[in-house]
């Protein structure tokens, strides 16, 4: 559904050339839900803008829904739906009008556009708002309208640029319920960017982690976490001597990556932590080590990002200084 080779985009900002995307090679298969996860400024939006024909690549090739983005941008546009970071619907216009306009922009006639708009309004629980001016809607309602707008022509491929940024957790979950239901109903491939770890973890079948314009990891979220971060078992002991003995025992377990001691606490990084925890506790009892507390933490994608880059995704979310891609060449 998406194939890119060596896709690159650089900008000139204050006399310097900034490489926003460096040699992107992507292959996204039809029917999947793929997350593009990375801190702000990682090149997510710039990549998306190239794939949606909003921005010409500096070099490289991209085929989206079977059409080349440079040779046949109109073909790409006909086949994809797009939800940008901003508001798709104009705040001065009415909900239904914007939906019908969008349908007609894709060549539907007035009654087809109207019928399709009615279906989507019902599917996204917006029926009661059809005559409202877009500017009077809440953030969550507005985002649902944006999704309806992006899906008016039942695209094969749906691009979502930070679909839930700025919404409260409830609205975010609600938005995702809708997206995934429609993904199943109309068999749309979904490609979304996010800097919310939970969002990529919960909703994507496959996560690509992007940093400084490159994809640095690409796998299902479970595999990423198991391979690159692992579980963390923490046990509390009575004193430092016990802690040292506990660490010794832990090192003897198979598939343990790392054991660290901090005061009376021993921290064990491992794969299959759920199976190891009872085993470790039994051995410690056999050894006569008193364990006061035991805890198992499953990894997050932030741990994955930390392992890969040495930085926390949460910290680097605001610190990056790449140029705002929003208006570059738009």
**Site residues, another protein (CB under 8 A):** 52-56, 69-70, 73-74, 77-78, 80, 82, 84-94, 97-98, 101-102, 104-107, 146, 149-150, 327, 330
Which is closer to another protein, CB of 134 or CB of 235? 134
Q: How far is the CB of 100 from another protein (least distance, A)?
A: 9
Which is closer to another protein, CB of 67 or CB of 280? 67
Q: How far is the CB of 75 from another protein (least distance, A)?
A: 8
DSSP 100: H
Contact partners, residue 272, CB within 8 Å, separation at least 6: 231, 255
Q: How far is the CB of 47 from another protein (least distance, A)?
A: 15
Distance CA 300, CA 302 (A): 5
Which is closer to another protein, CB of 22 or CB of 94? 94
Helices then strands (H, E): number in the chain? 12, 14
Which is closer to another protein, CB of 45 or CB of 307? 45
Which is closer to another protein, CB of 93 or CB of 293? 93
Residue 210: count of CB within 10 angstroms of its CB: 23
Which is closer to another protein, CB of 85 or CB of 234? 85
SS3 letters across 26-59: EEECCCCEEEEECCCCCCHHHHHHHHCCCCCCCE
Number of residues assigned to the chain: 330
Q: How far is the CB of 3 from another protein (least distance, A)?
A: 18
Three-state DSSP class for residue 77 = helix
Are 34 and 28 a contacting pair, CB within 8 Å? Answer: yes
Are 2 and 30 a contacting pair, CB within 8 Å? Answer: no
Q: How far is the CB of 161 from another protein (least distance, A)?
A: 9
Distance CA 251, CA 248 (A): 5
Q: How far is the CB of 309 from another protein (least distance, A)?
A: 30
Tell me phi and psi for residue 213, to 5 degrees. Answer: 80, 10
Q: How far is the CB of 131 from another protein (least distance, A)?
A: 10
Tokens of residue 33, six digits: 């839900």
Distance CA 110, CA 278 (A): 65
Tokens of residue 163, six digits: 């679909």
Which is closer to another protein, CB of 51 or CB of 226? 51
Which is closer to another protein, CB of 124 or CB of 306? 124
Q: How far is the CB of 197 from another protein (least distance, A)?
A: 25
Are 64 and 4 a contacting pair, CB within 8 Å? Answer: no
């Amino acid at each position: 559904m998406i194939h890119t080779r060596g896709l690159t985009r650089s900008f000139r900002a204050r006399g310097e050339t900034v490489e926003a995307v460096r040699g992107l090679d992507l292959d996204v298969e039809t029917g999947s839900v793929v997350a593009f996860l990375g801190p702000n400024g990682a090149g997510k939006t710039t990549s998306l803008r190239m794939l949606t024909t909003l921005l010409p690549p500096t070099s490289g090739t991209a085929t989206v829904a079977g059409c080349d983005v440079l040779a046949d941008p109109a073909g790409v546009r006909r086949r994809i739906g797009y939800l940008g970071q901003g508001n798709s619907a104009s705040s001065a216009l009415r909900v239904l009008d914007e939906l019908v306009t969008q349908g007609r922009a894709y060549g539907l006639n007035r009654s087809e556009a109207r019928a399709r708009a009615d279906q989507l309004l019902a599917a996204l629980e917006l029926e009661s708002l059809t005559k409202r001016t877009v500017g009077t809607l809440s953030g969550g309602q507005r985002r649902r309208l944006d999704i309806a707008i992006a899906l008016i022509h039942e695209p094969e491929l749906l691009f979502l640029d930070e679909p839930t940024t700025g919404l409260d957790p409830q609205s975010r979950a609600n938005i995702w319920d809708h997206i995934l239901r429609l993904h199943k109903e109309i068999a749309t491939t979904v490609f979304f960017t996010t800097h919310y770890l939970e969002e990529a973890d919960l909703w994507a079948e496959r996560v690509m982690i992007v940093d400084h314009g490159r994809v640095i990891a690409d796998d299902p979220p479970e595999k990423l976490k198991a391979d690159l971060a692992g579980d963390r078992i923490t046990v509390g002991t009575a004193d430092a001597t016990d802690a040292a003995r506990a660490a010794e025992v832990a090192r003897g377990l198979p598939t343990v990556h790392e054991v660290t001691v901090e005061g009376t606490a021993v921290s064990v990084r491992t794969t299959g932590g759920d199976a190891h925890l009872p085993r470790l506790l039994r051995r410690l009892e056999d050894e006569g080590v008193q364990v006061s507390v035991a805890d198992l933490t499953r990894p997050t994608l932030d741990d994955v990002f930390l392992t890969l880059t040495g930085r926390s995704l949460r910290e680097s979310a605001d610190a990056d200084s790449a140029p705002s891609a929003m208006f570059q060449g738009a």
